[in-house]
Amino acid sequence: MGYDNLKLEKGMYRQTGMSFTQVLESLDPSENYRGTALEGTDAFQRQLKRFGIRAKGAGSSPVEKFFSTMDSAVLFPEYIARTVRQGMEENDILPAITATTTVIDAMDYRSIYSVPTDADKALQDVAEGGAIPETEVKSKEHLITLKKRGRMLVASYEALRFQKLDLFGVMLRQIGAHIQKQQLSDAIKVILSGDGNSNAGSQYIVGTAPISGTAGILGYDQLVEFWGTFDPFTMDTILCSTKTMTKLLKVPELQNPLTGLNFQGTGKLTSPLGAKLLRTGAVINNMIIGLDSRYALEQVRAGDVLVEYDKLIDRQLERAAITSISGFGKICDGASAALNI
């Protein structure tokens, strides 16, 4: 069956364990288009081509193009979900701070964790016939609760029908950006307070052992001492607010000419400690969060971006919810901590 004669219906959004695009792909596999002009497109993109819907650029189609037929109207919720997802992925720093992502079909999740003792961390010789040191992996006592984050699309079909998809897409990407910020805030809370399993992150204060100096003043010595608290992990990522990053960038050692050249050439900030600097408003001023991104955090998602497809297909855009369900759990104790200046 070719892409130009598929029967599209609402039921494609209700397939258990499959997204709308996966249902389309099962009916119109992309592998069938190798060596053709449509190679590199997925099943959804081929459906847009089928109905002459252009989603981007100066010559983009108006919103009402989706509703020229009943079949093409079925594509509208997937278009919204994809564009919102694009907004979530733009400037998204969650991949930079999460070690792994788990997708589930429930609202609760019980993860695993490991809390090595000092003896477990030590390098030991194993004599012939001797016992091999153990690393115990346990199920967490309390469930990780997922949260629904989203925005309400409030607009009438009459207000949007003649608007170009290129402009409408900007609004949708903004919705995605708002959802992403909420999820990042959830991740920061778990790093600081734990995921409900008595695993809050360590917090240090400048001027209080093991961090030297005077409260309110940040220097290179304090950064090095903070870095040292992560052993045997490696602090490879730093999160902080704009105000705090300004203080960081004024530390003389961070004004190294090579650091400036790297920033000017690539737009990426690095520190003499080798950690990646990430700016976010989810961290309060005068706090630096450090983590080993390989071991600190697990993101748990219940499916993908969800939209109220029935409303959207029937042109009932007023108060149509766009949501994403996710939660976060800590993996290894000691892989994240906070420094209060």
Residue 264 half-sphere exposure, CB side, CA atoms within 13 Å?
Answer: 7
Between CA 39 and CA 30 the distance in angstroms is: 7
Is residue 121 scored above 70 in pLDDT? no
The predicted model gives 96-119 an average pLDDT of 78
pLDDT the model gives residue 251? 86
Is residue 211 scored above 90 in pLDDT? yes
**pTM for this one?**
0.83
Q: How far is CA 161 from the centre of its chain?
A: 32
Between CA 291 and CA 236 the distance in angstroms is: 6
Between CA 184 and CA 289 the distance in angstroms is: 13
**Following DSSP, what letter does each residue of 117-162 receive, concatenated?**
-HHHHS-----TTPPPP----EE-SSPEEPEEEEEEE---HHHHTT
Is residue 262 scored above 80 in pLDDT? no
Closest to 144 measured CA to CA, from 176, 187, 179:
187
- First-to-last alpha carbon distance for the chain, in angstroms, is 64
In 10 A of CB 140, how many CB atoms?
18
Between CA 191 and CA 182 the distance in angstroms is: 15
Structure tokens given for 147: 């949260």
Backbone angles phi, psi at 124, to 5 degrees: -125, 145
Between CA 334 and CA 341 the distance in angstroms is: 20
Q: What pLDDT band is residue 334 in, cutting at 50, 70 and 90?
A: confident
The predicted model gives 164-172 an average pLDDT of 94
Amino acid 207 reads G
Is residue 87 scored above 90 in pLDDT? yes
**Following DSSP, what letter does each residue of 158-224 receive, concatenated?**
HHHTTSBHHHHHHHHHHHHHHHHHHHHHHHHHHHHH-SSSS-PPEEEETTSTTS-S-TT---HHHHH
Share of the chain above pLDDT 70, in %: 87
pLDDT the model gives residue 134? 67
The kind and range of the H/E element at 337 are: strand 336-340
Q: Give the least confident one: 25-34, 127-136, 197-206, 244-253.
A: 127-136
Closest to 190 measured CA to CA, from 294, 324, 330:
330
Three-state secondary structure string covering 80-126 = HHHHHHHHHHCCCCHHHHCCEEEEECCCEECCEEECCCHHHHCCCCC
Between CA 41 and CA 13 the distance in angstroms is: 20
